[in-house]
Structure 1
Amino acid sequence: MISNLATLILMGGQNKRMNGQHKAFLKLHEKSFLDQIITSLKSCGPIYLSVNDKSLYSHLPYPLIEDCYKEIGPIGGIYSTLLKVPSNYVFITACDMPFMEAEFVNYLYSQLEPDTSCIVVSDSSGRFYPLGGIYSKTMLPLIKEQIENENYRLGALLKRAGAKIVPLNETPFSEKLLRNINTPKEYEALLEK
C-alpha cells in the first residue's frame, strides 16, 4: 500500500461507441475489465469507483463516488473524487483500460515531487495521457474554476496545472498499459489476440 494515495476507476461514461454496453463489464480471460483493473491495483491503496448514478452500481462492493457535476466527462469524476476522498493523491484510470499495473502506479508515485500537482505520461509521438496519472487535491480550485467556465478538457487542465509529464519511453513500461478499448471493433481485435 502506498500511503496517502487512493485509486479511482472512472465508470461514468455513456458507452455510446460501445453501442451502450458498459465497458467495465466486458470480459477478458473470463474476468471483467473492472475486475482485471481492481485485481491489478488493489495493492496501491483504497479503490473508489466514479459513477454518474450510484443506484446503477449499488451491487458493486466498492465505495462509489457520484459526480457532483453531471454529464461533463472525466473532469467531473476527478473533481468529485478529489473533493471526497481523504488521500492527498489519487491515481486515476478508466474502466476501459484493462492493462493497468500496480508497478506503473508505484513508479509514477516515486516521481512525485513536493510541488507536483499532477503527473502523467506521454507516448512516443508526444501525446500525453490524462488517464493513467496521479492528481493532487491541490488541483481542486483549478478544476472547479475550469468546470465553472465550462471547459471540461483534461488536456487544458494539465497545461494550466503545470503537470509533470514523463515520456513513457523513459520508463520500464510499454504503451499497451495505456490502451483503452472504446469500440466493438477494438474489443473484437483484443479477443482475437
Structure 2
Amino acid sequence: MPVTGIILAGGLGKRYNGIDKAHLSIDGRSILDRILDTFDGLFEEIILVTNHPARYASWDLFTVSDLYAVRSSLTGLHAGLFHASHGYAFVTACDMPFTDQRIIRLLLDRIDTRWDAIMPQTEKGLEPLCAVYATRCAGQIGQHIERNQLKIQRVFNPDKILRIPETRFRKIDPDLRCFFNINRPEEFVEAQRWLPQHPNGPS
C-alpha cells in the first residue's frame, strides 16, 4: 500500500552553533540528502517536519511545521502524521545518517491494520524514530501532547505495537548503525569514521 516517508527536523542545533543537523555533511553529502537517497523509490510522498522551513528552501520538499508549541519528537510525529496523505508513514529523524532501504522495507512489509505502530525492539528498548505508524493515530497523539505526555511509546496501546526483534535487523546491519543518531559533535566524528564501512543509500 502507499506509505508516506516523514523526516523530523525539529532540533535547535544548540551543539552545532545553530546549524540544523540535517545540513551536516558526511563524505560530501548532507545527512538530509543521504536520507532522501534512501527514500528514493520507496515513497511517493515525503514530508519534512521543521519549524524553520526557509532553511530547507533549496530542497523540493513538502515541509510542514509543528501544530503544537511544545518542543518534542512527539509534536513532530504528530505534525507529520496529521499532514500525511496515506494510511501509514515511515518516520525517521534528520540526524540518523545510516538509514537503509532494507531496514525500511523490513518494517513496511509488516504493515497490517491490526497495528498502530511497527517498531524495532533492541536491548536498549524500542526505536520510535525508525518506525512505521498508522496516520489515524494523529488524534490520540494530539491528546497526549495536550496532557504533556510526550514519550512516543506511551501513546499507543501496547497490544497495538508490533515489536520486531533486533535479531532481524542484525542480519542486515550487524552493528545496528541504522539506529545511530548524532546528538553530540563526537558522534558526528564517529559517524564520519564509520562511513567507509557503512555506505548509505539505496540497497
Does the TM-score normalized on the shorter chain lie above 0.5? yes
Structure 2 letter corresponding to 1:21 = I
Find the counterpart in structure 2 of residue 84 from structure 1.
83
Q: Quick one: percent identity of the two aligned structures?
A: 24
Distance in 2 separating the partners of 1:131 and 1:84? 18
**Residue 126 of structure 1: how far off its partner (Å):** 4.8
Contact residue 99 and residue 179 of structure 1 kept, 8 A: yes
Alignment gaps of 5+ in structure 2: 195-203
Contact residue 88 and residue 132 of structure 2 kept, 8 A: yes
Contact residue 52 and residue 70 of structure 1 kept, 8 A: no
Structure 1 letter corresponding to 2:77 = I
CA gap 1:161/1:42 in 2 versus in 1, 3 angstroms:
farther
Contact residue 117 and residue 161 of structure 1 kept, 8 A: no
Find the counterpart in structure 1 of residue 200 from structure 2.
none
CA gap 1:16/1:161 in 2 versus in 1, 3 angstroms:
farther
Distance in 2 separating the partners of 1:161 and 1:30? 43
Count, aligned residues? 190
Is the deviation greater in 70-79 or in 81-90?
70-79
RMSD of aligned alpha carbons: 1.8
Contact residue 114 and residue 160 of structure 2 kept, 8 A: no
Distance in 1 separating the partners of 2:69 and 2:108? 29
Contact residue 142 and residue 161 of structure 1 kept, 8 A: no
Q: Secondary structure at the match of 2:32?
A: helix
Find the counterpart in structure 2 of residue 150 from structure 1.
148
Distance in 2 separating the partners of 1:184 and 1:151? 29
Find the counterpart in structure 1 of residue 29 from structure 2.
31
Q: Equivalent residues in 2 for 1:1-193 (5 A)?
A: 3-45=1-43, 46-123=45-122, 125-158=123-156, 162-171=160-169, 172-174=171-173, 175-193=176-194
**Residue 158 of structure 1: how far off its partner (Å):** 4.0
Alignment gaps of 5+ in structure 1: none
Contact residue 139 and residue 161 of structure 1 kept, 8 A: no
Distance in 2 separating the partners of 1:118 and 1:168? 16
**Residue 74 of structure 1: how far off its partner (Å):** 1.4
